[in-house]
Amino acid sequence: MSMNRRGLRMAGTVLAAVIIFGPLSSLVIWSFAEKWYWPHLFPQQVGLFYWSKVLQGDMLRALQSGFLIAVVVTVLTLVITVPLAYLLARTPIPFKPVILMIFLLPQAFPQLPVFVNSTTLLYRINQGGKFWGVVLIHMVGALVFAVWTMTAVFKSVPESLEEAAINLGASRLKSFFSVALPLATPGIIASTLLVFLYSLDEFTGTLLVGSPFILTLPVFMYRTSVGYELQVASISALLLMVPGIVLLILLERYMKSEYLSMFGRI
């Protein structure tokens, strides 16, 4: 019986590895393939030609631009959402569920019509094809993650600790900076990583608002895929996965179960 269970477990592990790493192995092979024609199962010629082509072309500009946009979006989102999330978690604001639902609306509908409508508005205020236009379109989605996550984070911090600080003479503002904010720091870091990763990987809004002047790595990968440059697209996909994997590992470290349990109570 134990042998059967061990065999099933091993088969499940192999199947999971094939499902997860199969597509990745295809990307790796394509990134080194210089010649690969049907019906050959493997490339006839491999090398670093396309890697050097990518690293010398627009890819570095796209990567730099995408990181800069993600950093700006993350900082602005934090500045807006940390005080707002604290107020939503601590004070009896009228129509609080309505306010939270408003932030959820961009994700409640298909993204394409939402971004198309937002793009029309941005072009009317002369922000189409500009850096700040892309930042604003990214914040449409980033605020959803930040507001809901940070509200749950501050909700998980015991209010009694702040009340104790106030009873000892601290002001509401001082109790926020000395008690609530330090205890919420891991959750704020987790929310920051979510927003940064969202902005770094965002494609639809960037293409609609920023094209052809603002180039990020997802848009660069799309352009190369449309042009059937499979090697360049594969390399771009692999490079885009690296920060995502690193940030997800960090996110697992900082995202605590008590934060998730508070989503149903905010």
**Could you tell me the CA-to-CA distances from 245 to 63, 182, 239, 251 in Å, in that order?**
16, 27, 10, 10
Residues 169, 172, 175, CA angle at the centre, nearest 5°? 75
Pairing mode, strands 45-46 and 33-35: antiparallel
> SS3 string of 207-254?
HHHHCCCCCCHHHHHHHHHHCCCHHHHHHHHHHHHHHHHHHHHHHHHH
- What is the per-residue pLDDT across 41-58, written as a single tens digit (0 to 9) for each? 788 888 888 888 777 767
- What is the per-residue pLDDT across 117-128, written as a single tens digit (0 to 9) for each? 888 888 888 888
Mean pLDDT over residues 259-263, rounded? 47
5 versus 64: the higher-pLDDT residue is: 64
Q: Do residues 119 and 54 lie in contact, with contact meaning Cβ atoms separated by under 8 Å? A: no
- What are the DSSP calls for 80-124, one per residue? HHHHHHHHHHHS--TTHHHHHHHHHHHHHS-HHHHHHHHHHHHHH
Q: Which amino acid is residue 49, in one-letter code?
A: F
DSSP state of 38: T
Element (H, E) at 54: helix 49-56
Q: Which of 63, 30, 25 has the alpha carbon at shortest distance from 229? A: 30
Q: Do residues 155 and 258 lie in contact, with contact meaning Cβ atoms separated by under 8 Å? A: no
- What is the per-residue pLDDT across 140-170, written as a single tens digit (0 to 9) for each? 888 888 888 888 888 888 888 888 888 888 8
Element (H, E) at 266: none
pLDDT at 266 over 70: no
Q: Do residues 191 and 146 lie in contact, with contact meaning Cβ atoms separated by under 8 Å? A: yes
- What is the per-residue pLDDT across 2-14, written as a single tens digit (0 to 9) for each? 556 776 777 777 7
CA torsion sign, 235 to 236 to 239 to 240?
A: negative
pLDDT at 81 over 80: yes
DSSP reduced 3-state for 34: strand
Token pair 């902005």: residue:
199
Element (H, E) at 46: strand 45-46
pTM equals 0.77
DSSP state of 264: G
Identify the structural domains of the chain with CATH numbers, from first to last.
2-46 (no CATH), 58-265 (1.10.3720.10)
DSSP state of 263: G
Helix and strand counts by DSSP (H, E) for the chain: 13, 2
